[in-house]
Structure 1
């Protein structure tokens, strides 16, 4: 019974002297208020009633989001969200714990200082284009300042750029107008291409139509020539044969018109005497042309004889 108090006291001392430190973290041990040591992950032992855990620090990468409102070179107010990823350097846990009480506030102050120094030099459009330059400037400034306090700045990112609502409305209107302009240009190009292609098609159609008409007339002339040759073989001269062919075509045309019920074509003259009159006129014209031709030949021969 006398040993029970000693056993209980020993158990209390053992259990209060043992502690664990999680992975990727560090514990700061003080003895009578003075820094004693830094303990890393695992089961650790401290002197009960003498040593105490002053604090714990995480060695994992942490992220701090800072929202900064500032003004651009073209007098547009804009909010930037800067995400800072940092961690405590394992070899400088002492500096991180004892040199800086509020690291978040310190990092935030440097971010504000850098952003409000860089953004006023840029126009709003340049802020969107050069956001990586802003992030690099923040990282460089933070690294120089926070390294002495035991913090390593892993990366800084400008994750959001939020201009004034009125400016965003104006920017959306400008973008919409540009897109409408581009769409109108494309539509105009398409219409121009259609017009050009249609004109080319019509020109090709006219060319082929003219070629067809020329071929048709060539075949008609060839047929007339053959008809005249056939009539000449039976004793009909060329003038009479031509007149006969014309009269025949005249009556063929009248017959074709009469067979069309919806035709609006009128062939003049179309009286019963039209065929004979046409034949007589043609024979007379052929005879007159022959006489004129003979007279011109005789005049030419007399002139040559005189010379």
Structure 2
């Protein structure tokens, strides 16, 4: 009677140990007497107690392995590349993945090192950044062929980081900064040149308008003088006397304008009472002499032209 209780308890343990549960996206390898027996997938599973045992489990989810490889480029720059490998166990090849390869991470890492150190030394540092996708494709191609035999499928490989030597990064930053400063200086020079050109154009336009204004002013003055002479001629004053009279009138107008300035220190010499009369007589005599000289020169030129013919 006392022996039945332990036996019953032992039997219950044996019974429940025959059942086990496999989680979703997981595969379990069952061995019988140390030899592979079967692969069990997700769900409630049954095994023979004591005879069968769970040898191990494999995840069927996509996994990622990050590998950091240090190598040298064609232009002798040491650089570290971070390669991310996404892989998965093929459901139909769980046996190969479990029994053929004991350490898949180390195997994948070895292939990544081999490919990267074969490809990167062929490139210059700038090309490594530009052609990182080519490096990733080369790594995937090599891994796909090698790991398929062991039951692993390579989903994707990515070059997620390129880290040159610290001194090289400082040099690259200085080059970039110098290039940007050069571009900024060019833009500033262009802006300054545009300002100078526009300022010169504005000054030229101002001078043109100023000259045009002076020409218009002189044209109007000449027209006014012409009209004044015509009016004086009508009352019996000849052109020489009219011109002299206009000049004397402008002289007295100038004196009047200067006299109206309270703070003016200008003194005109000579400024005697008979100065206006003397000025008028001198100018009439000067205009008359000038006309006589002009008439004489015209007669002389006509006579010369007659002798030449």
Q: TM-score, normalised by structure 2?
A: 0.89
Q: 1:19 — aligned with what? A: 20
Shift of 1:229: 2.2
Shift of 1:267: 8.1
Give the SS at the match of 1:63. Answer: strand
Alignment partners' CA distance in 1, 2:128 and 2:306: 105
Q: 1:76 — aligned with what? A: 77
Shift of 1:250: 1.8
Which region of structure 1 is more displaced relative to structure 2, 281-290 or 254-263?
Answer: 254-263
Alignment partners' CA distance in 1, 2:306 and 2:162: 109
Aligned length: 306
Shift of 1:80: 1.1
Q: 2:181 — aligned with what? A: 180
Alignment partners' CA distance in 2, 1:301 and 1:107: 117
Give the SS at the match of 1:101. Answer: coil
Q: 1:11 to 1:211 in 2, by over 3 A?
A: same
Alignment partners' CA distance in 2, 1:302 and 1:61: 121
CA contact (8 A) 1:70 1:77 kept: yes
Q: 1:125 — aligned with what? A: 126
Alignment partners' CA distance in 1, 2:14 and 2:288: 153
Q: 1:294 to 1:157 in 2, by over 3 A?
A: same
Shift of 1:296: 4.5
Q: 1:153 — aligned with what? A: 154
Alignment partners' CA distance in 2, 1:274 and 1:22: 130
Q: 1:257 — aligned with what? A: 258
Give the SS at the match of 2:88. Answer: strand
Residues 246-290 of structure 1: per-residue CA shift (max 9 Å, x gap)? 1111222233334445668x6865523543343223211221123
Shift of 1:82: 0.9
Residue 190 (structure 2) pairs with residue 193 (structure 1): no
Shift of 1:150: 0.8
Which region of structure 1 is more displaced relative to structure 2, 297-306 or 213-222?
Answer: 297-306
Q: 1:39 — aligned with what? A: 40
Equivalences for 1:97-108 in 2 at 5 Å? Answer: 97-108=98-109
Q: Report runs of 4+ in structure 1 exceeding 6 Å deviation.
A: 1-6, 300-307
Residues 55-86 of structure 1: per-residue CA shift (max 9 Å, x gap)? 11111111111111111112221111111111
Q: 1:241 to 1:138 in 2, by over 3 A?
A: same
Q: 2:93 — aligned with what? A: 92
Alignment partners' CA distance in 2, 1:154 and 1:257: 101
Shift of 1:45: 1.9
Residues 182-206 of structure 1: per-residue CA shift (max 9 Å, x gap)? 1111111111111111111111111
Which region of structure 1 is more displaced relative to structure 2, 163-172 or 270-279?
Answer: 270-279
CA contact (8 A) 1:254 1:267 kept: no
Q: 1:303 to 1:195 in 2, by over 3 A?
A: closer
Give the SS at the match of 2:271. Answer: coil
Alignment partners' CA distance in 2, 1:22 and 1:117: 41
Equivalences for 1:200-279 in 2 at 5 Å? Answer: 200-260=201-261, 269=269, 271-272=271-272, 273-279=274-280
Q: Unpaired segments of 5 or more residues in structure 2?
A: none
Q: 1:295 to 1:71 in 2, by over 3 A?
A: closer
Q: 1:258 to 1:124 in 2, by over 3 A?
A: farther
